[in-house]
Amino acid sequence: MSQYPLVRRQRAHLSQFTTTVLYPKNPWVVAFFSFSYPGFGHLLLHRYIAGFILILWETFINQNAKVNLGIFYTLTGDFSKAMDVIDEQWLMVYVAIYMFGIWDGYRQTVDMNKQYILADREDAPLQPIAMGAWDINFLDKRKPWVAVLWSVLFPGLGHLYIHKVIVGFFIFAYTVLILYFGHLPQAIHLTMIGDFDVAKQILHMQWAMYLPSIYFFIHYDAYVGAIDYNILFEKEMKKFLRENYQKKEFKFPF
């Protein structure tokens, strides 16, 4: 049996593991994150299945096409080596998926912004808490800067703080995978003890080039997610107080 009343459009859905919310977003911001890393724009829209598929597909194609290595050598000015490492056959497949992620992220944002306007006007009831055998999720106020701080310490922790468990666990595991194959911990350790030559040799740039996009995204998503959930908490509380504690004779100002 559904925990929500029958409404035409829902503004949010609480489950044990996450809160899915409709809230207006800038289509260009979503397109930018889809440009920086396919799938990230879809995660901003809470379209997790599409986002995870695009992220994993991006990793598979990028590893075969060696796009990251091509970008690295291009940034260092070694254009001939950049052309040599890139696999043209895989690159042709990469371009199509890459462009689709940008286009679909922009298109979905425009459509979902319209859905938000309609859902907000309907002012449907919001469920403030979801309980189950695995976890408890409830609407509450959380500090955006705390979410960013935990994300700085390690990707995924900020999302766990705002109870985006699904995205948080995925980002956490995905980052650990990249750190392992990129040999980042060993390179950082060798750099700290001054052994720069060995650090440069063991660092795998094809894997390491994933990290800048990941770190930039998780900081933004954790911060914006905390703000969106705070606004949702305020909307639910205002509706509850208005319906239960406000006098019927009260006249709304126009």
Amino acid at 73: Y
pLDDT at 105: 93
Dihedral, 186, 191, 193, 198 alpha carbons, nearest 10: 70
Tell me the torsion sign for CA atoms 91, 93, 96, 98: negative
Q: Collapsing DSSP states into helix, strand and coil, what is residue 238? A: helix
For tokens 């299945």, the residue is: 49
Task: Tally helices (H) and strands (E) across the chain.
Answer: 13, 4
Q: Which residues contact 235 (CB under 8 A, 6 or more apart)?
A: 11, 126
Cα→Cα distances 46→61, 147, 156, 175, 230, Å: 24, 17, 15, 20, 16
pTM of the model: 0.84
Cα→Cα distances 180→99, 171, 175, Å: 29, 14, 9
Q: Collapsing DSSP states into helix, strand and coil, what is residue 87? A: coil
Q: Please report which helix (H) or strand (E) contains residue 6, including its range.
A: none
Residue 28 has pLDDT above 90, yes or no: yes
Mean per-residue pLDDT over the chain, rounded: 88
CB 144 within 8 A of CB 29: no
Closest CA to 56 of 178, 222, 159, 215: 178
Q: Collapsing DSSP states into helix, strand and coil, what is residue 165? A: helix
Q: What is the pLDDT of residues 60-99, one digit of tens each?
A: 998 888 888 888 888 888 888 888 888 888 888 888 888 9
Q: What is the pLDDT of residues 90-148, one digit of tens each?
A: 888 888 888 999 999 999 999 999 999 988 888 888 888 888 888 888 888 999 999 99
Percent of the chain at pLDDT > 90 equals 42
Average pLDDT over residues 28-55: 93
Q: Distance between CA 151 and CA 215 in Å, rounded?
A: 8
pLDDT at 3: 52
Number of Cβ within 10 Å of residue 243's Cβ equals 9
Residue 57 tokens, joined: 């597909």
Q: What is the pLDDT of residues 168-211, one digit of tens each?
A: 999 999 999 999 998 888 888 888 888 888 888 888 888 988 99
Closest CA to 101 of 39, 45, 156: 39
Q: Distance between CA 153 and CA 1 in Å, rounded?
A: 40
Percent of the chain at pLDDT > 70 equals 95
Residue 42 has pLDDT above 60, yes or no: yes
pLDDT at 253: 65
Residue 186 tokens, joined: 């060993």
